[in-house]
Amino acid sequence: MTAKVLEASKFKGVLRRIARFTRSRDDAEEFLQSAFIRLIEYRSRHAVENEAAFLVRTAMNIAIDESRRRKVRDEPDAPMELLIEIPDDQPLQDEVILAQERLRIVSDALARLSPRTRDVYLMHRVDGMKYREIAAELGITVSAVEKHIAKASMLLTERFQLR
């Protein structure tokens, strides 16, 4: 049946084009076989002017559909043994709960600070500013910055010790 549909010389060229697209000769042969079946079905109802082009386009469409199906099914390309060894960087649920609790404690403690002390502490700890930069920006002394940082640090330490 193949000889009737496509000459042997054209068959190799079609197969090469599909193999370049799919990057696998085995896959290309499978997709080409499926394309032949579709061509035969299609020819029973319609005229086909360029069978080689029909086969290449159909095989590529089949390859694309198969790729989409694999993604939807999320089939792993690697053996399951290799997937088991992949570390999961996500924190455990109890770690998330502990982190949320620590965040709540810090938020509560920061809310108890005066606005100036809170701003100084956040400028240093969150924004990474140096004491002299904070002092220059707020128009206070470096000593005052040190006192605000110490006050905030002591309150946070106290809150975590009470926990």
Q: Write out pLDDT tens, residues 84-138.
A: 666 777 888 888 899 999 889 889 999 999 999 999 999 999 999 999 999 999 9
User: CA-CA distance, 88 to 92, in Å (whole number)?
Assistant: 9
Q: Above 50 in pLDDT, residue 3?
A: no
Confidence of residue 153 (pLDDT cuts 50, 70, 90): very high
CA 133 from centre of chain: 38
Answer for the pair 62, 34: CB distance below 8 angstroms, yes or no: yes
Q: Which two tokens stand for residue 150?
A: 């110490």
User: CA-CA distance, 1 to 52, in Å (whole number)?
Assistant: 15
Q: Above 60 in pLDDT, residue 75?
A: no
What pLDDT shows up at residue 146? 96
What pLDDT shows up at residue 69? 80
Q: What topology is assigned to 103-157 in CATH?
A: Arc Repressor Mutant, subunit A (1.10.10)
Model-level pTM? 0.45
Helix, strand, or coil (residue 91): coil
Q: Name the packing angle between helices 142-162 and 93-112 (round to 10°).
A: 130
Count CB-CB contacts under 10 A for residue 49: 6
**What digits encode the pLDDT tens for the residues 32-41?**
888 888 888 8
